[in-house]
């Protein structure tokens, strides 16, 4: 099939483009490059031997999105494009609502006009908010506690309402947990702009000498070692989960939602130790105060994706850290040469 991947030059997007090409699909990518580099697609082509069609397009420009669909017949869409920094979304909510919601509405309106009604949406565990018991289960009430998470929740609602109103739609909502790692080749990986918000890219930048030390945000939580527990998932496993969801909804109409996670929690210090093992030397850190908004612990109930998609995570935290380190060591400045 010909699959349109929005946000396909990004971290998860580029790994998913590679998995799609390896599964025999042709890929068209839309990305505005606001938080990524086209170099990632050049490397994906090097790995897969296939070049994805690329359009430097912002989803908020509906006419530009229309031109992409008019130019080539698309069979299905995987929708990653969106702003995704929780802290920034609290400081600039309007920017997040406009970019994430208007961009998505433009995309699905153009899809509908072109009779393209199969979409896999990149949602997030953040929609579960702070009141659900762990492990998180798909049927739970959701309620994000930040503007970024609310845009994900609202897009899930938009797609759920669309699927309920029009039975021609094939819709998968994927709630992922904490993506880390990189393709084992070390040629593609996570390349955050500015200071990384997330744990593993920050550790990787300390290890490669770009940052002085890791600040561990809180060592006094009610967890085995006092640091927060999260469900880390290898980005290649995550990409394969998108291909599995795409295949599932290709056969069925309706709205489906799945957690993509390992079903296990790992602590900040456990991840740090694992990364030190990959690097082969200690990584400087300091335990500081808690970060506002952090939950002590959450992880996925991953049984639905296994039952429906025959998909589960295959890689360990050690493998995630080894692969992330290989990418960072080989690309100390990310994609910018």
Active site residue 148: yes
Beta carbon of residue 130, minimum distance to ligand WQD (angstroms, whole number): 11
Closest to ligand WQD by CB, 163 vs 265, is 265
Closest approach of ligand WQD to the CB of residue 193, in Å: 15
For residue 190, the tally of other CB atoms under 10 A from its CB is 23
CB of 21 or CB of 124, closer to ligand WQD:
124
What lies within 8 Å, CB to CB, of 61 at 6+ separation is 106
Quick one: 112 or 294, whose CB is closer to ligand WQD?
Answer: 294
**Apex 282 CA angle, 278 and 283, nearest 5:** 90
List 128, 148, 176, 232, catalytic entry: 148
Min dist. Cβ of residue 79 to ligand WQD (A) = 14
Q: How far is the CB of 4 from ligand WQD (least distance, A)?
A: 21
- H/E element holding 288? strand 285-288
**Which residue is it, tokens 């995630």?**
320
Find the residue with minimal CB distance to ligand WQD.
228
Output 52 or 127, the one with its CB closest to ligand WQD: 127
Residue 135: asked if its preceding bond is cis (omega within 30°), the reply is yes
Q: Are 262 and 302 in contact (CB under 8 A)?
A: yes
Beta strand 53-56 with 26-31 is parallel
Token pair 């702009």 is at which residue?
193
| Contacts to ligand WQD by CB under 6 A | 84, 86, 124, 126, 178, 197-199, 202, 214-217, 228, 230, 268, 291, 294
Is the Cβ–Cβ distance between 18 and 44 less than 8 Å?
A: yes
Catalytic residues: 148
């Amino acid at each position: 099939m010909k699959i349109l991947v929005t946000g396909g030059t990004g971290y998860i997007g580029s790994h998913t483009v590679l998995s799609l090409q390896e599964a025999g699909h042709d890929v068209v990518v839309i990305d505005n490059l606001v938080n990524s580099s086209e170099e990632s697609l050049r490397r994906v082509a090097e790995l897969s031997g296939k070049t994805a069609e690329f359009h430097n397009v912002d989803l908020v420009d509906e006419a530009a999105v229309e031109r992409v669909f008019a130019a080539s017949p698309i069979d299905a869409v995987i929708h990653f494009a969106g702003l995704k920094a929780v802290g920034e979304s609290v400081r600039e909510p309007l920017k997040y609502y406009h970019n994430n919601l208007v961009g998505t509405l433009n995309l699905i309106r153009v899809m509908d006009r072109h009779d393209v009604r199969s979409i896999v949406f990149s949602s997030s565990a953040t929609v579960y908010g702070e009141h659900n018991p762990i492990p998180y289960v798909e049927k739970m009430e959701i309620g994000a506690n930040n503007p970024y998470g609310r845009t994900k929740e609202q897009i899930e609602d938009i797609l759920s309402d669309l699927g309920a109103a029009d039975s021609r739609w094939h819709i998968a909502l994927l709630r992922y947990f904490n993506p880390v790692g990189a393709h084992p080749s070390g040629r593609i990986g996570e390349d955050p702009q500015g200071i990384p918000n997330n744990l593993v890219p920050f550790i990787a930048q300390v290890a490669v000498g770009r940052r002085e030390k890791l600040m561990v945000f809180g060592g006094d939580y009610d967890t085995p070692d006092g640091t927060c527990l999260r469900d880390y998932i290898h980005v290649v496993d995550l990409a394969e989960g998108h291909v599995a969801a795409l295949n599932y909804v290709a056969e069925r109409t309706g709205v489906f939602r799945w957690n993509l996670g390992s079903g296990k929690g790992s602590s900040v210090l456990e991840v740090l130790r694992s990364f030190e093992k990959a690097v082969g030397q200690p990584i400087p850190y300091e335990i500081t105060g808690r970060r506002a908004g952090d939950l002590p612990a959450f992880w996925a109930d991953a049984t639905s994706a296994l039952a429906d998609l025959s998909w589960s995570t295959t890689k360990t935290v050690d493998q995630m850290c080894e692969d992330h380190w290989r990418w960072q060591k080989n690309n100390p400045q990310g994609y910018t040469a």
